[in-house]
Structures are given as structure tokens and as C-alpha cells.
Amino acid sequence: MALAESFAAHPNRAEAPLSPARSFGARPDYPGEAMDELRTWVDEIAALTQPDRVHWVDGSKAEHDAIVDQMVDEGRLIKLNPELRPGSYLARSHPSDVARTEGRTFIASEREIDAGPTNNWADPAEMREKMTGLFAGSMRGRTMYVLPFSMGAVGGPLSKIGVQVTDSAYALISIEVMTRVGDAVLREIAEGQPWVRTVHSVGAPLAPGQEDEAWPCNDDKYIVHYPESLEVWSYGSGYGGNAILAKKCFALRIASVIGRDEGWLAEHMLLIRVIDPNEKVYHLAAAFPSACGKTNLAMLRPTIPGWRVETMGDDIAWIRPGEDGRLWAINPEAGFFGVAPGTGESTNVTAVETLWGNTVFTNVALTPEGDVWWEGLTDEAPAHLTDWQGNDWTPEADHPAAHPNSRFTVSAAQCPQIAPDWEDAVPLDAILFGGRRATNVPLVVEATDWTHGVFIGSNISSERTAAAEGTVGELRRDPFAMLPFCGYNMADYFGHWLRVGAGLRFDRAPRIFQVNWFRRGSDGRFLWPGFGDNSRVIDWIVRRLQGEVGARVSPIGRLPHLEDLNLDGIEVPQEDLEELFHVDPSTWAQEADLTEAFYDTFDGRVPTALTSELSALRTRLASSAS
């Protein structure tokens, strides 16, 4: 079967009969060595963590509803007004547990060099001893849930499976949205598919009779990855990125290691299908650092007539070379765990429509009518709210009503512009690298070839946002938007990108572009309207793919001829346009110095192809300055 057909076919999607029914939460008794191995592992974790109960999750609606009802009764979730937001809930985290904790995230590879200078390395033997101590008895008084999950459609050709054990019901209901959970996955395990082991505890054991917190967690946090044994152990945090281990921990950090070894790429990228006015179809993957408008691009509504975008994924893409010399991509996730603030009718109407119901909100504000609100949902704040910490709030308050990293968790299938075949693999036509840059980086630049594109990707930087701890606004180097998510040495990761590119058919490899929606003028104004008008940049990119428009050569890559941009219906003054694409050789020479300093941190491990790109850039800048 041709590769494209085999990707489309997905013969074993979960339609085949499931294993025999079992009672609520019970341990499955399907026979087989692989299942014995799983049961033994679960028993070992339970013996260590000592939960009161072990509940094997079957992923059924009845089970989900029972767990959610119990969470509401226990005060862990607030049920929203079903007339305004049916099937939806609000969770409020502990104020100290609101974002990923990169400083407490570790790669425990056998050799320190395999973690590289951008990761926190820990010695695996020492870390195991430490974690065993922390997890001993950590689930006392709680239920330990066992969740078999699939990233990608169950049985799909690019899919991978894992099992998470967790003592957090919040993690459980989030994982049920973000992945495919349940017995269809157990059947895969029973049939011998390899699976990744992930263990999570909020680190808050309960003594007999002790009253629980609404959001239990521990001040001491460890998010630990063992790349050799493909395991994740996460302790102390209930926050999504630290607790939904299938997402950043597995689908990026561990999967990037699997991808390195198997010849594919696990990337922090959205995935969209763009349909031009002639109904021609293109697939784009785009890497943006956290909270840089990635969800907005994933759900783009073009403002130019005749163009459509179908959403396929908003955060992660698994990308594999096909036998046809192209790159094929899937979104391994099943839901969106998106940043709420800034998502509004005027900025991302598709996301607002996606959230009509069946959504778990975390750390947003509550309206007196029992609905949710966050900064940017509407232009004007309601006169009275309960803020994310449960306190009264009015627009005069000195802090936002919703936490800047407050989130929605919702099934991808609920997105009104989701591609009908969003669970299938699609061939990539272009890869975009973006960031939030007030200066220097033009609205769009095309790489001259794959190696130059990898060079650009290795140099992505962005002003810091609230998705991780740190000072908001500060410039942060975030190569491929993978800095916090690459499970191995990033210099080797750059080399892996070069190798993957070298294996593609040169005329079928995706073309690579850099974009920046956030450039400001010298007066501080944004120079580009952004949002739906970013479709104008996509239009140019697609016309480049079609060979319909030329480009001008610049020291940093190919730039559009300004007259080729479709600006019908918007007013962008000529000076702003020129500033949007201005390349200043002296500030770019400073960027080159920063690149050199960054590459130097890898002690000579950065591939020569990239250091040569840097020298070539400097030569081009010098000759353009003279």
C-alpha cells in the first residue's frame, strides 16, 4: 500500500470490539504476559505510594460523570451554570501551583552530556533514590487512578501509548480530554505494543481523618524524565503541564528522544490545513514559544476572501518522513489545553465558540450568573466577579480577575473548524517558526534551504510570557520553541533536524519560514494588525509554494516584494510596511553575536553546518552594511 494510503487507512481505530466489560474501576483481567507486566508495575507503584484504593480507568462516560460529581461534592470543581456553559466546570489551583516549573524539571539521562546545557540534568541513580523517598506513602488516603492512554488515534501508524498513574482526579479528567483513554488502549498493550510509564503524585498524603485541600500539592516539586527507560515521574504539582504527563513530558520530552532514535521529530508545533480560493490544500506546522498566539493561528479565520483554515492541532506535532520523501504529521493530542486570557470574540472567535460547553476551566474568574470570564474575553470587564482565587473583584482591582496563565481544557472535536480528518496524518508543505519580537525580526522571511531553516529554528527567541515562571517581557532564547521540551542535548537535536532533512526528497521537503506578528515601531505601536490578518502572510507563503511570486534576497533570508502582499481591505501605512521588513545589519550583527554565545554553551557540539550558516550570515551582513 502506498504510504499516503496507509496513513489514511488507520485499520485498527477503536472500532473493533473491546475487551470484556469489567466492573467500575476494577483491575482488568485480560490474559497475557504484557498485561501481567502492566499489572505488576501498577502493583509496585501502589506498594510504594500506598493509596487507599486503586481505580483502573475504563474511559466510559458513566465513570467520568461519577468522578466529576464526586469532585463537585468535595469542592474541587465548581459546576458552571448549565444554561450558560453546559457540562463545564471551574477549578481553582493553589496560588503557588499555576504554571509549569521549569526549574524543577529534570532530564535524568545516564550521561550529563545527553541532557545538554539547556536542561537540568540529574544523576538517574541519585534521582531514583530521591523519588522513591518522596513517593513512599505519597498517595496515602487517596485513590490512585490508572489511565492507559494513546497519543494519536488508537492503533494509528504514528501513534504511541502510555500509562499514567495519578492520585489527582483533576489530572484524570484533563487527561481524558487531552488523550484517548480507556480499554481500547489496554487491548493494544495486551497485544504487545510498547508503552511509556508515567507516575504522578500531588505529594499530599492524608492522615486518617485529615481534611483535604481543594487543590492538594506540595511546595517541593520534581518533574523527572528518564530518557533511557522512557519513564516520567512527577511529584508535587497538580498544574496541567506538570500533571498531564502525556503532554509536555511524554509527547515532547520523551517522544523527542524516541524520535531521535527512530528517525522522526516530536515538535512543539500547531498543525493546520490551509485551503486557497482554488480549493488547493496545504498543510503547515508552526512552532511558537508558549503563549505567543499559537492557538490563534491554529484556529485562524482568514480575513481575505476565499481562504479557509481547518484546525488539526494547537500545540504538538509528531512528524515522520514517509516513503514518498515527504514529511507526514499528526497531532498526537485529543484536546486543547489553551491559555484563556486574550482569547476573545475579536481575537479568536473559533476558540470562544469551541468553549461553549463541556470545558474544564482553571483559574479563570467566575461571574455572578455562574459563567466564566477572563481578561480579553470581552472588551469590557463585568462590573462584578469572583477572581481566580475566590475573592470579590471589580474592574478597579489592582490585579487581573483571571490568572494570566489560566486555562481551558476542551476536546479538539468540539472546535467548529476542526478538519474532518484531523486524527489522520497529513503531508507537510511548510514549517513556520515564530516568536514575539518587538524589534529586528521581519513579519516573514523565507529560509533559503533546509539547513538555513534549521539555523533559523535554532535561533528563535521570544519575549517571556506567563506560561512558565520567570520575568514577563524578558527576551528568552527558545530554539524551535523546544527549549523547555527537548528531552536530550539540543545540539544533537539540531543535528537530528539536519539528518531528517537530508533524508527527504529535496523537492518535497517542506519549505521553512520565520514569522513575527509582534514587531513594534519606534513609537511602541504594533506595526501589523495580526490575528485574522495573519492570513495575508499565509497567502504569501502559499503563493511562494506555488511558485507564483518571487522574493527579494536579504542577508537574513528571502523577503516578500511588498507589492506581493495582499493588503486589500486593511490600511498599513507604507512606512510601517517598510519598517516591518527592515533589516538593520548592525542590530543583526548583535543577534549573530548572541547566536555565537548561545552555540558556545554547547562546547563544540553544535553541527558544523550551523556554525557555517552563522559565518555566512555575518559575511552577508558585513557586505550589506558596506
The three cell numbers of residue 116 are 545538554
Own/partner contacts of 492-495, CB < 8 Å, gap of 24 or more, are 492/114, 492/116, 492/260, 492/605, 493/256, 493/260, 494/454, 494/458, 494/606, 494/607, 494/610, 495/607
Q: Which does 241 bind (CB under 5 to 8 A by kind): Mn ion, ligand OXD, none?
A: ligand OXD
Nearer to ligand OXD, 268 or 326 (CB): 268
Q: Is 415 a catalytic residue?
A: no
Residue tagged active-site, from 249, 292, 415, 486: 292
Sheet with 385-386, side-by-side order of all strands: 372-373, 365-366, 385-386, 392-393
* Chain centroid to CA 118: 18
* Binding mask of the shown chain, residues 314 to 333, with x at each position contacting Mn ion by CB under 5 A: -x------------------
Of the pair 56, 337, the CB lying nearest ligand OXD is at: 337
What does the block give as the cell for 138? 505519597
Residue 12 CB, shortest distance to ligand OXD, in Å, is: 29
- Nearest by Cα to 435 from 535, 497, 513, 532: 513
The answer to whether the CB of 612 falls within 8 A of the CB of 624 is no
**Which region among 104-112, 289-297, 411-419, 446-454 touches Mn ion (by CB under 5 A)?**
289-297
Q: Could you tell me the smallest distance in angstroms from the CB atom of residue 315 to Mn ion?
A: 4
- 89 binding partner (options Mn ion, ligand OXD, none; Cβ < 5 to 8 Å by kind): none
10 to 153, 188, 422, 424: CA distances (angstroms): 8, 14, 13, 8
Output 290 or 595, the one with its CB closest to Mn ion: 290
The residue type found at 616 is A
Span interacting with Mn ion, options 226-234, 290-298, 531-539, 550-558, rule CB under 5 A: 290-298
Find the shortest distance in angstroms from Cβ 339 to ligand OXD: 7
Q: What residues contact 64, with CB distance under 8 A and at least 6 apart?
A: 173, 176
The dihedral over CA atoms of 116, 119, 123, 126, expressed in degrees to the nearest 10, equals: 180
Q: Distance between CA atoms of 142 and 169, rounded to whole angstroms?
A: 10
Alpha-carbon distances of 483 from 94, 95, 489, rounded to whole Å: 26, 25, 10
- Residue 176 or 315 with smaller CB distance to Mn ion: 315
Measured from the CB atom, is 99 or 154 closer to ligand OXD?
99
* Binder of ligand OXD out of 290, 386, 409, 462 (CB under 6 A): 290
Q: Does 467 bind ligand OXD (CB under 6 A)?
A: yes
Cα–Cα distance between 363 and 340 in angstroms, integer?
9
- Least distance between ligand OXD and beta carbon 340 (Å): 12
Q: Which is nearer to ligand OXD, 340 or 512 (CB)?
A: 340
Q: What is the 3-state secondary structure (H, E, C) of 527-562?
A: CCCCHHHHHHHHHHHHHHHCCCCCCEEECCEEECCH
Confirm or reject binding of residue 315 to ligand OXD (CB under 6 A).
yes
Which residue in the shown chain puts its C-beta closest to ligand OXD? 290
Q: How far is CA 192 from CA 31, 99, 533, in A?
A: 12, 36, 48
Q: Which is nearer to ligand OXD, 315 or 375 (CB)?
A: 315
Number of residues that bind ligand OXD (CB under 6 A): 6
Q: How far is the CB of 481 from Mn ion (least distance, A)?
A: 8
Residue 425-464 contact track with ligand OXD, rule CB under 6 A, x = bound? ----------------------------------------
Contact track, ligand OXD, 108-147, x by CB under 6 A: ----------------------------------------
Selected binder of ligand OXD within 152, 241, 322, 453 (CB under 6 A): 241
- Scan residues 332-361 and list those touching ligand OXD (CB under 6 A): 337
DSSP codes of every residue in 183-197:
HHHHHHHHTT--EEE
Catalytic site positions: 292
Contacts to Mn ion by CB under 5 A: 290, 315
Q: In the complex, which residues of this chain contact ligand OXD (CB under 6 A)? A: 100, 241, 290, 315, 337, 467
